Structure 1
Amino acid sequence: MKRHPDPEALGTLLRHVLELLDGDVAKVYQDQGLPEYRPRFSPIVRALVAEGPMSVRDLAGAVGVTHSAASQTASQMARAGLVTHSTDPRDNRRRLITLTTKAHALLPMITAEWNATLEAMAELDGEVSMPLAELLTEVTEAIRRRPFVERISAAYERQAASEGSR
């Protein structure tokens, strides 16, 4: 019997959905002969194609991830031969991430997969009550307005007050 994550264990459920989506995208790349290519590389590739060489900080902002996540992904991409790190000629303290010739040669395949993924996501969105990206954007905005840690602390306080009044 196949088990599903506990719907109350939200973090587990979110990771499970991400594993399902990313795992299948990774299978597509593997089937295309790119076993070292990861789905998390595509937003970075797309940003570098659009903007040219970028610092890790700028790249993180462009794709909407933390500096640490962008740095880790860029390091993985460098190991796969997809990007290089070089000193910014205008500021020796900054390092720039640049797509390699290998990455440029893969762009048609990466673009085709990206477009197919967008089409598949639109199909999936048609089967659920709300487009996933729309829902996740709403959740992100709500958490930015009031961080989750504040919500947890308030719940603790309400529980403590309720137990104290018994």
Structure 2
Amino acid sequence: MLEYFTSLNDHNLPYPDTIHPILVHFVIAMVLFAFACDVIGYFTGNTRLFEVSWWNMLVATIAIFVAIIFGQFEAGLAQPYTLAKSALNLHTLIGWSLSGIITAITAWRYVIRTRNPQKLPIYYLGAGLVLIVIVGLQVYLGDQLVWVYGLHTVPVVEALKDGVLR
């Protein structure tokens, strides 16, 4: 039974496929949806959307840490080759930074919500826009790791095992 826990599959993972992208896409969707709700609520005066945004940011704040844990685990198992290391390192750095940024923005949002849940400062929307840009950069780097460098794809894993990539 222990051999099933210690053996890696053809994706170099102990489970069927990567979990990090699933969790990350969840976080991305929640952050983008929260920002959209804030912008629409701000310009239409529909303050109920501020509550939707708040809960999305709260769940995204929790989920990003779970995504990072799986990302760190899966990055370690990926055995990145030389060309992929710089993109992976930058992706890791921005990922950890995003966890702090999202946490700070969610904390700020909590303060705004407790003071006046019917009003949202324009500066908060500006911070949300900056967050969206950083998330976009992170998505680009993550796509690059999969679609350009092929981390956790069968051909790249086989090439690493055969010593073709270093």
TM-score by length of 1: 0.28
Which structure's residues are more often strand, by fraction? 1
Greater Rg by CA: 1
Instruction: Please report the TM-score for the alignment, with normalisation by the length of structure 2.
Output: 0.28
Q: Which has the higher helix share?
A: 2
